[in-house]
Amino acid sequence: MFPKKLSPGDEIRVIAPSTSFHRIATIREIALHNLSTLSLQVTYGKNCEEIDEFNSSSVASRIADIHDAFADPQVKGILSAIGGYNSNQLLSYLDYDLIRANPKVLCGYSDITALGTAIYSKTGMVTYSGPHFSTFGMEKGLEYTLEYFKKCLMDTGPFVVEPSSDWSDDSWFRDQLNRSFIPNDGFRVVNEGQAEGKFLGGNLCTLNLLQGTEYMPSLADSILMIEDDDESKPLTFDRDLQSLIHQPGFEGVIGIVIGRFQRESEMEPEKLVKIIKSKQELTNIPVIVNADFGHTTPQFTFPIGGKGKLVALDGEVGLTIVEH
Q: How many CB atoms lie within 10 A of CB 158?
A: 13
Catalytic residue among 56, 110, 129, 232: 110
Q: Are residues 34 and 87 in the same domain?
A: yes
Q: Are residues 34 and 127 in the same domain?
A: yes
User: Under a CB-based contact definition with an 8 Å cutoff, are residues 146 and 31 in contact?
Assistant: no
Angstrom distance (rounded) from CA 189 to CA 196: 17
Q: Are residues 305 and 164 in the same domain?
A: yes
Active site includes 295?
Answer: yes
Range of the domain at 173: 160-323
Q: Are residues 269 and 171 in the same domain?
A: yes
Number of independent structural domains in the chain = 2
Within a domain: 154: no
User: Under a CB-based contact definition with an 8 Å cutoff, are residues 254 and 221 in contact?
Assistant: yes
Catalytic residue among 227, 232, 265, 324: 227
Per-residue pLDDT 10s for the chain (324 aa) are: 999 999 999 999 999 999 999 989 889 999 999 999 999 999 999 999 999 999 999 999 999 999 999 999 999 999 999 999 999 999 999 999 999 999 999 999 999 999 999 999 999 999 999 999 999 999 999 999 999 999 999 999 999 999 999 999 998 888 898 899 999 999 999 999 999 999 999 999 999 999 999 999 999 999 999 999 989 999 999 999 999 999 999 999 999 999 999 999 999 999 999 999 999 999 999 999 999 999 999 999 999 999 999 999 988 999 999 999
Q: What is the pLDDT of residue 93?
A: 98
Helix (H, G, I), strand (E, B) or coil at 89: helix
Minimal CA–CA distance to 161: which of 77, 259, 80, 229?
259
Angstrom distance (rounded) from CA 152 to CA 181: 25
Those residues whose C-beta lies under 8 Å from the C-beta of residue 29, and which sit 6 or more positions away, are none
Within a domain: 120: yes
Angstrom distance (rounded) from CA 121 to CA 74: 25
Q: Can you give the pTM of this predicted structure?
A: 0.96
Phi first, then psi, for residue 148 (nearest 5°) are: -80, -25
Active site includes 110?
Answer: yes
